[in-house]
Every structure is written in structure tokens, then in C-alpha cells.
Amino acid sequence: MYKNKKGQPIESIEQNPSQESSRPSRGISRRSFLSVSMLTGCAALGVPLQAGALSEFKGWPKSYGMLTDFTACVGCRSCEEACNKANGMPAPDKPFTDDSVFRESRWPSAAALTVVNRFENPKDKTKPTYRKVQCNHCLEPACASACPIHAYTKTPEGAVIYNEDLCFGCRYCVIACPFNIPGYSYESALEPKIIKCTLCHVRVSKGQIPACADACPAGAITYGKREDLLKIARKRIEDNPDKYIEHIYGEREVGGTSWLYISGVPFEQLGFPSNLPKKPLLELTEGYLSAVPVIFTTFPAIFGLVYSAMKHHTKKAGKEEEHGHLKEDDNE
């Protein structure tokens, strides 16, 4: 499972080595890279490039993802530390070995792309459950469909990445994200930007695996093809029905996410939203968006007709009419 895909999007990265290496931590790519990457990705992954394929896009079929097993997590925060280093983030106030952070409820932000929180385990009070959160890399991301400048891209490899060079900072992606994930560097006056997990897009492109999965000593984070991860998750649940609840979070939520979770504690008790639709959120706005052209084509006709009818009516009523304009009689 820890094996990497061979050959495909890596070559496209190398076309832009200077740009990528100048910002190795951020995983933000230029459009040129993205388009090349999409094409090579399509070719290598065998995605049919037919016109019809886009209208019924159901996610990149052979994309990679992550599986977090909360029953295995021991709360060592190695993943947080590895993430911090891999992304070149500033050191936190408290060291990663300091357990006192578990007393507060933390959330990913512009300062940390992933955090681990401690929850009480109702099954066994002595053995708390630890929850790691970060961007879930939705198969059809709401953030990407909400962005008015198309600064987000769902890569064929699985990551949802963001290009700060396009962003004007409206933060509608933050509103749209069902998991409240994108952080924004509000403290920056000149270069504020969205900061979130990139599924270590740059590391993956170099043939490495995401830093958190690499660092986890407990085997709680598995990197691999999403469809394989689903099989692993199902098998674990099947083999240990007492240990796990029967729910793979992320399999269907908002149309599926690249990051999957299995747990011994119900997900809503771990702060995962349980009220999300099973279909991608962008489908909820499709109907409206398709109505806009209808308004543009029918309204001129409707209101033009109303205007003509009114003019005709006014004319018939014997009122003044001049050069196609309604004219008032100046009675005061």
C-alpha cells in the first residue's frame, strides 16, 4: 500500500523544477503545470477524454487517498510534527511532545495544516480516542466549485490544491467547505492566502508519500489508491466488528472524499458532521446556474413585450407618444 504510482504526473512536475523547488512546502502549482498534469494524468490513468466524461464526472477513478484508523492512533502527534516540517511551517508555541495541548479543542488553521485532538472513548475510559483532522480532499470539492477565480484544482492524483497567485481572498471557499478546513492567513497585510493540507502534493510528485503517513509509528495512516483503501477499511471492519463501528467516513459523504476514516467511536462524537448529503455539494447549485442563461434569453423577450404592449396601450388611450418613448403629459 505504501507503494507509489510510477511514471505519470512526475514528469510534468519536472518541467517546472525551479518554481516547485522554490516553494517545496506549499504544493501550489502553476496553471501550466496543472494542465499538463491533467493531460498526462488522464493519459496515464486511462481516463477517457471524451466530452461526455466531464458532464458525469465522478471523481478521478484511480486517485490516491489516505485512510486514518482512529482505533490505531495513539496521539503521539508525530504526524503534526512531520507535517509542520514538510510544509516549512513555523514552530508551534508548545513542542509536539507536550500533551497539554489535548486539554483544548484545536482545529487546523493557517499555523497548522493538521491537528490531533483527544476524545473520551465511551467503550473504554482508560483508552481515549485521538482524532486527526485535515483537509479531506473531496472527490468533487465544494471549495473548488465555489471559487470565482478557479484557484483550486482537484488533481488526478487525489489532492485538492490551491493557487495563491489567483486568489483575491473572498473566502467563499471557507464558507463552502463542509468541514471548515481552509485556513486564511488574516494576519498578513499584503499576501494573505488560504492555507490547508495539500496531501503533500509536491512530495507525492517526487515519488514520496505524504509526510504524516510516513511519520506515523502506529500505522494509523495509510496512503494508497482510494479504491484499495476502501477494501482495506471494509476488511478491517469485517474482521473486527466489535472494534469498529460500521461506517467508513468519507466513502459517500459529499460524494466521497480522498481521505477516509474508520473508528471505534461514532463519528459525530468525534466532531465529524453527520448532516451532510451523500451527493457532491456542487450539484446543489447546478440547477440555479443552469437557470441563469434562461433568464438572459427569456427576460428581454418578456419585458420587451410588456414594454411594447404598454406603449401600444398608451397610444390607444390617446396619450402623447414620441420617438418610441413614453412621454408624460405635464399636468401639475
Partner 1 sequence: MSPSEYSRSLITPFNLIAASILATSLPIFIARYGKGLASVLDATNEYPWGLLLSWGIFAGEPLFAAGFVVAAGYYLFGMKTYRPLVRLAVLGGMLGYAFAASYLLIDLGRPWRIYYPMLINFGPSSVLFIVAWHVALYVTVQLMEFSPAILEWLGSKRLHKWAVSVTVALIIGGVILSTVHQSALGAMYLITPGKLHPLWYSAHLPLLFFSSAVYAAMAFAIILSFVAVRYFRERCDNEFISNIPAVTLSLGKGAAVAMYIYFALKVIALAQDDRWGLLLTPFGYWYLVELLGFIAVPMALFSIAVKTENLTLVRFASLWAVFGIVLNRVNVNLIAFNWNMPEHFERIIPSSGEVIMILAMVTLHILVFRWILNRFPVTKELPEYKGSH
Q: Of 197, 227, 237, which is closest to residue 213 (Cα–Cα)?
A: 197
266 binds partner 1 (CB under 8 A): no
Contact (CB, 8 A) for 220 and 78: no
Grid coordinates standing for 220?
494509523
173-232 binders of partner 1 (CB under 8 A) = 174-176, 178, 180-184, 186-193
The nearer residue to partner 1, 115 or 230, going by C-beta atoms, is 115
295 binds partner 1 (CB under 8 A): yes
47-76 binders of partner 1 (CB under 8 A) = none
150 binds partner 1 (CB under 8 A): yes
- In angstroms, what is the minimal distance from the CB of 36 to partner 1? 17
32 binds partner 1 (CB under 8 A): no
Give the bridge partners for 162, in sequence order. Answer: 152
Numbers of helices and strands, H then E, in the chain: 11, 11
The nearer residue to partner 1, 19 or 314, going by C-beta atoms, is 314
307-326 binders of partner 1 (CB under 8 A) = 307, 310, 313-314, 324-326
Q: Of 72, 48, 52, which is closest to residue 60 (Cα–Cα)?
A: 48
Instruction: Determine which helix (DSSP H) or strand (DSSP E) holds 104, and give its type and residue range.
Output: none
Distances (CA, A) of 274 to 67, 242, 253, 318: 19, 22, 9, 66
Degrees (nearest 5) of the Cα angle 257, 261, 265?
140
Q: Which of 24, 88, 95, 169 binds partner 1 (CB under 8 A)?
A: 169
Residues lying near partner 1 in the complex (CB under 8 A): 31, 105, 107-109, 142, 144-151, 166-172, 174-176, 178, 180-184, 186-193, 273, 275-277, 281-282, 284-285, 287-289, 291-292, 295-296, 299-300, 303-304, 306-307, 310, 313-314, 324-328, 330, 332
